[in-house]
Each structure stands twice: as structure tokens, then as C-alpha cells.
Amino acid sequence: MHKRTIYLLALVGLCGCSRAIDPPGDALAQSLAGRVAGTPRSCISINSIDNLRVIDPTTIGYGSGPTIYVNQLRAPCSGARQLNTIIVDAHGSQYCNGDHFQVVEPGSIIPGPACFMGDWVPYHRP
């Protein structure tokens, strides 16, 4: 075999193993599939079973089961990615519009800049 053929086969093999990158908003669409939006709320109660999760740099989610709450942040959260840990400066037993949080990347101990929550939209199964 010629070197050119070997390089071409190696390149094709690498391309076949790579995972396609999901377009922005795809993770949110998958999470909310089959659910109906309810009336936005300024605060939601914190449940010790559920965790906040980053959906994309402009959106976080909370909850599971019958209701998932989606929060469109006041502004994009620099560095927010799906595997980040969210640290919230919550006051009381609720997450509210205006509360701020920071994200920490896996393997890091230094939190990123402050990000601010907006209103919470509940999504229920019909």
C-alpha cells in the first residue's frame, strides 16, 4: 500500500469514530419532549432529590419526573457546560429570579463568574 492510501484510511477511520456535536438547544428539546409549558414562576421550591443542571450557556434545568423547570438566564453564563457543577447562593428553600450561581468545571476548584437566574417555566407531561 502507498503511504497516501494508509493516511486516507486512517483519516476515514478517525472520522467514523467521532461523535457528532449536538446543535444548540438540542439537549433542551430532548429533555422537554412530550411536555407542555406552564405559567412562568419567579421562584420554585428546592427538593433535595433533584439537582440543577446546565442545559446550555443560556439555560439551566431543575427537576425530574412529572415536572421539569427551565430557567432562561438573564444573560449567557460564560463557561457553562453540561458537565459543570452549579453552586447556588440560594436564600431559603427556593431558587428565585435574580439568585446568582457559579459553575465549576470538572477537575477544577475555582468557580467561574456569577450568573443570574431568570423566571422558571414548568414543563409537565399532559
| Number of domains forming the structure of the chain | 1
Rg (CA), the chain: 19
Tens digit of each residue's pLDDT (9 = 90 or more) over 37-57: 999 999 999 887 788 899 999
Residue 38 included in any domain: yes
Tens digit of each residue's pLDDT (9 = 90 or more) over 54-100: 999 999 999 867 899 999 999 999 888 888 999 998 878 999 999 99
Residue 72 included in any domain: yes
Residue 102 included in any domain: yes
Range of the domain at 46: 27-124
Q: φ and ψ at 13, to 5 degrees?
A: -65, -40
Q: What is the pTM of this model?
A: 0.74
In 3D space, the residue among 32, 68, 34, 30 whose CA is nearest the CA of residue 50 turns out to be 68
Residue 9 included in any domain: no
- Listed as own residue / partner, the contacts of 70-73 with beta carbons closer than 8 Å and 24 or more positions apart are 70/28, 70/32, 70/120, 70/121, 70/123, 71/95, 71/117, 71/118, 71/119, 71/120, 71/121, 72/118, 72/119, 72/121, 73/115, 73/116, 73/117, 73/118
